[in-house]
Amino acid sequence: MPKPISLQLPKLVLLLLLLILIGIGAVPGYLSGKWRWREPPKVATLSELRNLRQTGLALPNWQIVQRGTIQIGEHKWLSQEMTRDNQKAALLIFAQNGPREQPEVEWSDINGLQRWRTDSAQQVEFSIAQPAAKVTAQLFRGWTDEQTYAVMQWYATSEGGHPTPSRWFFADRAAQWQNRRVPWVAVSVLLAIDPLDDLEKHRASVESLAQAVQSILMANALRLNS
C-alpha cells in the first residue's frame, strides 16, 4: 500500500536539501576543473606538521632528555623523553604528512610497543584558553614490570581533539566545503608514576601536560587562518 504523500514529503524535502548542498559544493570545483574528492584543498600548515618529526615540542618547565624517531606499527613517530623536578614523562606524536593522509592510527600499536597491561580506562575532557578549545581524550593506567604510567591519548586538531578518527573525518569534510582543511596530530602522553599508584592522584598532572601540548600545537602546526 503506497505511503501517504504527507509522510513522504519530509523525506523529499531532506533529499532536495542534500542535493542542493552537494550542488553548492560541487559547482565551484566543476567550473575550475578541480573536484574536491580528486584534489582536496591544501593543508595550510603542512610544512610545520612535517617539521614536528624533527623538532618535537618545547614544553614550559620540561627539559628534553632524549628525542628521536621510532617505528610503531606502520608509522614513524617522534619520541620525546622529558623531566621536570622529580617527574619523568614521554611524548609520542605522529603528525599528518600529506593532504590525503587520515588519522587511522591504531592506539593498540603503541600499547603493543610498550607491552604493558592497562586498566582504569576512561574518557576525559579538558580545555585550553588560548586559543579556546575543548579536547576529549582517553586516559588509562599502563604498567610493565619496571614502570607504571598515566597515559592520555587523542587526535589533536585545529578545532580541539578527540581519540576517535571519525570526529576528524566529519570536521574535515565540512571544512572542505569552505575550501580549507582540518590538520591533525596523534598524541600520546605518558607520565611516569609510582608502581600501580592510583590513577586519579595523577590525573591533574597528566592533564596539565596534555593541555600544554594541545596549546602549543594549536598555536603553531595546527593554527587556523594560516
Residues 69 and 142 in one domain: yes
More confident residue, 39 or 46: 46
Range of 75's domain? 46-219
Query: Is residue 3's pLDDT more than 90?
Result: no
Query: Is residue 7's pLDDT more than 60?
Result: no
Query: Is residue 49's pLDDT more than 90?
Result: yes
Longest dimension (CA), the chain: 75
The whole-number average pLDDT for the span 139-146 is: 94
We report the CATH number of the domain holding residue 114 as 3.40.1000
Residue 126 lies in a domain: yes
Residues 146 and 107 in one domain: yes
Residues 73 and 23 in one domain: no
Residue 186 lies in a domain: yes
Residues 120 and 10 in one domain: no
pLDDT at 14: 63
Residues 50 and 158 in one domain: yes
Alpha-carbon distance of 151 to 123, in angstroms, equals 11
Residues 26 and 59 in one domain: no
Residues 80 and 11 in one domain: no
More confident residue, 111 or 31: 111
Residue 224 lies in a domain: no
Place of cell 607491552: 115
pTM over 0.75: yes
Residues 121 and 171 in one domain: yes
Residues 110 and 182 in one domain: yes
Residues 68 and 104 in one domain: yes
Helical segments of the chain, H only: 5-32, 46-55, 107-114, 165-176, 203-219
Please count the structural domains in the chain: 2
Whole-number average pLDDT of the chain = 86
89 in Cβ contact with 189 (< 8 Å):
yes
Residue 190 lies in a domain: yes
pLDDT at 1: 52
Residue 119 lies in a domain: yes
The whole-number average pLDDT for the span 180-187 is: 95
Q: Which range among 21-25, 28-32, 63-67, 219-223 shows the weakest confidence by mean pLDDT? A: 28-32
Helix (H) or strand (E) holding 87: strand 87-95
Residue 225 lies in a domain: no
Residue 125 lies in a domain: yes
Residues 95 and 53 in one domain: yes
Residues 212 and 154 in one domain: yes
Over residues 85-123, the pLDDT tens digits come to 999 999 999 999 999 999 988 788 888 888 889 999 999
Query: Is residue 225's pLDDT more than 80?
Result: no
Query: Is residue 19's pLDDT more than 50?
Result: yes
pLDDT at 26: 44
